[in-house]
Amino acid sequence: MMSLKFNLSGLKQIYLEALQRSDPTLAFEVVQGLGRFVFMMFFSKEDKESKDRLFVQLRNTQVFLELKVYGSHRSGDFFIYFNDCDQEAIINELQLGQGGQRFNFNVFLEQINQQIPATLPLQVKLDKIREVWPQVRDNLSKVVDQADKTILMGIKSLPVGKKPQDKTLRKLYVYTNGEADVITNLIAALKQARVTLAWTNKENVVEKSLAEIMRLINA
């Protein structure tokens, strides 16, 4: 197999939607044939390591792909070069086996592109990230701040002119069970109060609920 270039342009609509909502995260699943593919992107200004990467969790084989994405995403350019290893991993995920008709990778990508959702509600992102996080967290440790600290212990003030980091707020997605509207309201309150979340890895600390965090902000 040769390296194959493809524009996953179907991402444009939900990419722009996420920017408009100030929620620079994508997470959704596409089922194609026997294959199950979870696509994720993290593109906050803080996401220097991941903002031009498409992460794909292959759910049958538990293989994790990290694909470099090229082009102007706002204009609908999401060019990806699939190397031999990427293509082989995807074919294995599809459980095609030996023999039969020759697999057309380009047709497969066109089918995936057409299945990308036109809109992606925050609750759908939350549910999907939480569902796969136990399998992907080691590969995605850089998309959250201080990945080892997973216990929500309170809030802390920020220096003048600073605002909560997306990589800190994103931990609400994976380490709490809050619904989308609750998390949206909490993030808005944190930004307005110019405070951020405090997390710890000390097991003797009593974890705060999101309702308790909101009360602390409003105190």
Among 109, 125, 142, give the residue marking a domain's end: 142
What domain range is 134 assigned to?
4-142
Residues 12 and 113 in one domain: yes
Residues 133 and 108 in one domain: yes
Among 89, 118, 142, give the residue marking a domain's end: 142
Amino acid symbol at 29: E
Residues 62 and 167 in one domain: no
Place of tokens 């909560």: 164
What is the number of structural domains in the chain? 2
Q: What are phi and psi of 177, to 5 degrees?
A: -115, 20
Phi-psi map region of 97: left, alpha, beta (phi>0 left; psi -120 to 50 alpha): left
Residues 180 and 105 in one domain: no
DSSP output for 159-171: -TT----HHHHTH
Rg (CA), the chain: 19
Write down the pTM of the prediction. Answer: 0.91
Place of tokens 């909502």: 21
Helix (H, G, I), strand (E, B), or coil: what is residue 140?
A: coil
Q: Which letter does DSSP use for residue 50 in this model?
A: T
What is the separation, in whole angstroms, between the first and last Cα of the chain?
62
Residues 131 and 153 in one domain: no
Give pLDDT tens digits along the chain (219 positions).
678 999 999 999 999 999 999 899 999 999 999 999 999 999 988 888 888 999 999 999 999 999 999 999 999 999 999 999 999 999 999 988 665 567 899 999 999 999 999 999 999 999 999 999 999 999 999 899 999 999 999 999 999 888 899 999 999 999 999 999 999 999 999 999 999 999 999 989 999 999 999 999 998
Bridge partners (DSSP) of residue 197 are 155
* Among 12, 77, 8, CA closest to 37: 8
